[in-house]
Amino acid sequence: MPATLKIWHPFTNAALDPAPLHVVRAEGVWLHLADGHKILDAISSWWVNLHGHANPRIAAAIAAQAQKLEHVILAGFTHDAAEELAERLRKWAPPNLTHMFFSDDGSTAVEVAMKLAVQHFSNSGRLEKKEIVALEHGYHGDTAGAMSASDDSPFTEPFRSMRFPVHRVHSAYCYRCPVGLRRESCHIECLDQLAALLEERGEQIAAVIVEPLLQAAGGMIVHPVEFLQKVRKLCDAHDVLLIADEVLTGFGRTGKMFACDLAGVAPDLMCVSKGITGGFMAMGVTLCDEYVAAAFNDDNRSHTFYHGHSYTGNALACAAANANLQIFDDEPVFDRIANIARITSERLLHFAAMPQVGDTRQIGTIGAIELRADDAGYLSAMRPKLYNFFLERGVLLRPLGNVVYVLPPYVISPEELHRAYDVIQEAIETLF
């Protein structure tokens, strides 16, 4: 008899990490385990869940769609659920974004955006504009192109030879300012590096890609709104496209529907995923403006965007996304978001005064606590200690090395949210 086929779990070392916990069902913010215990999901299961696990409205929409059409090739075909989603996104997306391309997840949405940017200029006869600029501490996914745009890290190191070169410029990491200034008195001088690069190589650069206002996997780094606003102005000055990777920040996480809304910035391309289906189905969407799309619409067959995925525009995923957006229309979702933000702000004030804490950061529903560490970074020895401590107390939190963050579903109650922060406080006081 062959050996049992074993599941290879992501971001897991089977020789070092504990055995996976077996979830048999979930409801709201709670994961129910096979052994009878339950875990408070304080990170929305890797940032995807918006309205609670097993939300009945989204589940019913998927079931109803499955009775009509589960999937059809989107090349040469369309269907009601996809057309409805285009109309629903039109309500929320920046008005200049007039075209949308479906893919499978956040990483592939980023791949689409970078390919669109480069081919836009190629189709326009400007073959030299093909370079990409990305930020330090950035993370855009694990496929080859998205990994190339991501900063050097333990995630990317084994694949150095597979990554294409990008220009890397300073991020607005105010706690660890790359130019040695303080936010209270600076004028966003960290952008001088990008300004100089665009002045020198603007004729060769196709796009700048950013995670607007929040670099998530890089340590929940919150940027001043002025940073994004000035990036937009620099791109405009050099005819460089701005790609906003809103894979995490979209659908209310930052307090507005999209992070770009907070800064009053309209990107040329925008990538969305994670929360688009409320956490039920895998889906990615790349939106772009008419300027980008126009370069693909002519009688030259070679100007076609030859890119696609087998499950592009999957009808079940579209149905989930439509139900998710209907919840935004029908229920007080932004009131829930405001309540999470208020409690988070109150709790972070206490953490900021703790000697073990170097910095606290918040944007909308997301609160982050950066602990002082000699080995700061994703591989900090603090991480496994914290992670195990949290699970032993029934809370799912996955620290980014020495950075602990809370990113809950919007249906979390005040008591449940305080429980998450209480466990963090207990861990800091007990372990360090």
pLDDT, tens digit (0-9, with 9 covering 90-100), for 361-394: 999 999 999 999 999 999 999 999 999 999 999 9
Strands 131-135 and 205-210: parallel
* Residue 3: per-residue pLDDT: 79
% the chain with pLDDT above 70:
100
How far from 281 is each of 98, 133, 320, CA to CA, in Å?
Answer: 24, 31, 7
| Residues 63, 59: Cα–Cα separation, whole Å | 6
How far from 418 is each of 220, 234, 347, CA to CA, in Å?
Answer: 20, 42, 8
CB 336 within 8 A of CB 328: no
CB 29 within 8 A of CB 409: yes
CB 288 within 8 A of CB 116: yes
Is the predicted pLDDT of residue 1 greater than 90, yes or no? no
pLDDT, tens digit (0-9, with 9 covering 90-100), for 290-306: 999 999 999 999 999 99
Using DSSP's 3-state secondary structure scheme, residue 307 falls into coil
What token pair was written down for 167? 């220009």
Please state the φ and ψ torsions of residue 304, each to the nearest 5 degrees: -65, 145
Beta bridge partners of 101: 286
Residues 6+ apart with CB under 8 A from 321: 85, 88, 276, 277, 278, 281, 283
pLDDT, tens digit (0-9, with 9 covering 90-100), for 309-347: 999 999 999 999 999 999 999 999 999 999 999 999 999
- The per-type count for the chain, helices as H runs and strands as E runs, is 13, 16
pLDDT, mean of residues 274-302: 97
**What interhelical angle do 192-201 and 225-237 show, nearest 10?**
10
Residues 6+ apart with CB under 8 A from 3: none
Q: Is 278 exposed, middle or buried (0-12, 13-18, 19+ CB in 10 A)?
A: buried
Is the predicted pLDDT of residue 25 greater than 70, yes or no? yes
> CA-CA-CA-CA torsion for 157, 147, 133, 113, nearest 10 degrees?
180
Smallest CA-to-CA distance from 386 within 376, 368, 400 is with: 400
Please state the φ and ψ torsions of residue 24, each to the nearest 5 degrees: -105, -25
User: To the nearest whole number, what is the mean pLDDT of the chain?
Assistant: 97
Q: 209: pLDDT confidence band, cut at 50, 70 and 90? A: very high
Provide, for the chain, the percentages of residues in helix, strand and coil under a 3-state DSSP scheme, each rounded to the nearest 5: 40, 15, 45
Using DSSP's 3-state secondary structure scheme, residue 403 falls into strand
Using DSSP's 3-state secondary structure scheme, residue 345 falls into helix
Concatenate the DSSP letters of all residues of 67-130 into one string. TT-S----SS---HHHHHHHHHHHHHS-TTEEEEEEESSHHHHHHHHHHHHHHHHHHTT-TT--
pLDDT, tens digit (0-9, with 9 covering 90-100), for 10-21: 999 999 999 999
